[in-house]
Amino acid sequence: MRIFSRRWMMAAGAAVTAMTMMTARAEVKLPAILSKNMLVQADVPVRLWGSAAAGEEITVKLGGTEAAKVKAGADGRWSAELPAQKAGPVADIELLATNTLTLTNVLAGDVWICSGQSNMQFGTSSSLNGKDEVAAAAFPAIRLFKVPGVIAETPQDDCKGQWVECSPATVANFSAVGFFFGRELQQKLAGRPMGLIGSNWGGTVAEAWTPQPALEKDPALAGLVKAGKDYATVNYPAALKKYETDSATWKKAADAAKAERNPTPRAPGKPAEPGKNPNLASVLYNGMIHPLTRYPVKGAIWYQGESNTGRAAQYKVLLPAMITSWRAVWGQDLAFGIVQLANFTAKDKEPSTSAWWAELREAQTLTAANVPNCGMALAIDIGDEKDIHPKNKQEVGRRLALWALAKVYGQKVAFSGPVYDVMKVENGAIRVTFKNAAGLNAKGGAPTGFAITGADQKYVWADAKIEGETVVLRSDKVAAPVAVRYAWGNNPDANLYNGAELPAEPFRTDSWPK
């Protein structure tokens, strides 16, 4: 029997460990977005990328046939392209180098980013009839990828997550709006596979989803970057001091309420610590969007704005800047569908000046109308006055899909409700003409939600009458009307639709500050 010295064995073990470490470093790796079950964008080259040892050669096979051969650069990065694939199953993709990776169960179809705040994050199981929707969600040709919430100071190249087939086991916590949108498209497009990437975070502002360079180059937005940079040194200390003062005041009020058996007032919220605040400029773009930007997609759907209410004038610049910046980093003219904010809070008894939700909706309307290849789905009639998260996400997804079917896929379907065109003063009344107004009707009786004013800028409710594709408005309180507002409020009582049962878009004909 041969006897080995302890020193020799230790040396041999170290060598094996070193070799193992070298092999691990040399292994070809892929980002999370490239995984089994993935859905790649059809009709464009399939893009692959990753890391390996510097100079390592990687052979890529498609269905067992060599399709590309590349070498990792000095920085260990490599990329390759495979031929464009038609919608449907894709052969297994193999990557052969020091190690072998195989991507199986791949489909080609259309990929959509589903982004925004809580109404996009809102899970399928929580939607209207959520339990039944989840139980019936066996759609293997719909693939889901959910990006975990990540805050990052700089743009990241990778994220966590994995592609999965849509099933009752995987869809429950996935975006309800995203799922219902993708399901509607697939059903109306002869079963075309759909890939849905959920990248969303509740309670977040649009600037957090926008690249820093896009904010810095616009004077109207540059202050958002400075505020983010000042957060740790200026804003957070001030906010924390205010929180401590408010907490002391609240405790006294809470103790008094308890002693008198009254409801306890709401406690103040503690500000997020530096590095944990998702509402700073660019931090969610860096961590949750940038890792996706090398992956070809069809477009994006966006449900956000609640956290930017009160800054509508800025949002008119911010949202277009975000859309433009995403298109620039993707190198694609991404189709972009916007969900206009739903009705919320108590209905207004009198015409509202609404410097909040109505103006934010107007910013969304202007973006959809003026930024090319954008569209909008209304939710003005399917909200909940007591819940900022209305449950009817099926209709939101369906309306987004109508826009996509008409404008992205070229189908002849009605996709918009009545849209304001022009107004004309006639004998003490105002006649409003609409686009997309075939079959103009008011649910439940006469049209509601219209207000008119004279030169004094004091709006009153108008008596409204439908005449063809127009609405005639008058009030005995306004002898000489000059302007109109419709559905202008947080939760307007508005009931105008077209023959396709799509609601009329909120609008105003004035540009007054209030």
pLDDT higher than threshold 90 for residue 18: no
Q: 20 in a domain, yes or no?
A: no
Q: Which two tokens stand for residue 384?
A: 């909940």
Q: What confidence category does residue 121 fall into, taking pLDDT thresholds of 50, 70 and 90?
A: very high
Q: Are residues 504 and 377 in the same domain?
A: no
Residue 119 corresponds to which amino acid? Answer: N
Q: What is the mean pLDDT of residues 179-200?
A: 98
Write down which residue in 358, 387, 407 finishes a domain: 407
For the entire predicted model, the pTM comes to 0.92
Q: Are residues 451 and 498 in the same domain?
A: yes
The residue segments making up the domain with residue 496 are 419-508
Question: What would the pLDDT profile of 73-83 be if each residue is shown by its tens digit?
Answer: 999 999 999 99
When mean pLDDT is compared across 25-29, 82-86, 167-171, 278-282, the lowest value belongs to 25-29
Q: Are residues 191 and 227 in the same domain?
A: no
Write down which residue in 281, 297, 324 finishes a domain: 281
Question: What would the pLDDT profile of 343-389 be if each residue is shown by its tens digit?
Answer: 999 998 899 887 789 999 999 999 999 999 999 999 999 999 999 99
Q: What is the mean pLDDT of residues 149-178?
A: 98
pLDDT of residue 355: 73
Q: Are residues 100 and 112 in the same domain?
A: no
Q: Which two tokens stand for residue 264?
A: 């306890």
> In whole angstroms, how large is the CA radius of gyration of the chain?
27
Q: Which two tokens stand for residue 22?
A: 């070298």
Q: 112 in a domain, yes or no?
A: yes
What string of H, E and C letters represents the secondary structure of 166-183? ECCCCCCCCEHHHHHHHH
pLDDT of residue 353: 81
Q: Are residues 341 and 378 in the same domain?
A: yes
Q: 169 in a domain, yes or no?
A: yes
Query: Closest Cα to residue 296, out of 339, 325, 329, 319?
Result: 329
Q: 474 in a domain, yes or no?
A: yes
- Please tell me which of 122-126, 258-262, 274-278 the model is most confident about, judged by mean pLDDT: 122-126
Q: Are residues 269 and 317 in the same domain?
A: no
Q: 163 in a domain, yes or no?
A: yes
The domain that holds 373 is classified in CATH as: 3.40.50.1110
Average pLDDT, rounded, for the chain: 94
Q: Are residues 333 and 373 in the same domain?
A: yes
Domain count, the chain: 4
Q: Are residues 474 and 498 in the same domain?
A: yes
Half-sphere exposure of 215 (CA within 13 A, CB side): 23
Q: Are residues 393 and 316 in the same domain?
A: yes
The domain that holds 77 is classified in CATH as: 2.60.40.10
Q: What confidence category does residue 125 fall into, taking pLDDT thresholds of 50, 70 and 90?
A: very high
Query: Closest Cα to residue 272, out of 181, 205, 369?
Result: 205
DSSP per-residue codes, 91-127: --EEEESSSEEEE-SEEEEEEEEEEESHHHH-BGGGS
Q: Are residues 273 and 325 in the same domain?
A: no
Q: What confidence category does residue 20 fall into, taking pLDDT thresholds of 50, 70 and 90?
A: very low
pLDDT higher than threshold 70 for residue 137: yes
pLDDT higher than threshold 80 for residue 469: yes
Q: 370 in a domain, yes or no?
A: yes
Q: Are residues 161 and 88 in the same domain?
A: no
pLDDT higher than threshold 80 for residue 11: no
Q: What is the mean pLDDT of residues 501-509?
A: 98
pLDDT higher than threshold 50 for residue 481: yes
Q: Are residues 117 and 97 in the same domain?
A: no
Q: 120 in a domain, yes or no?
A: yes
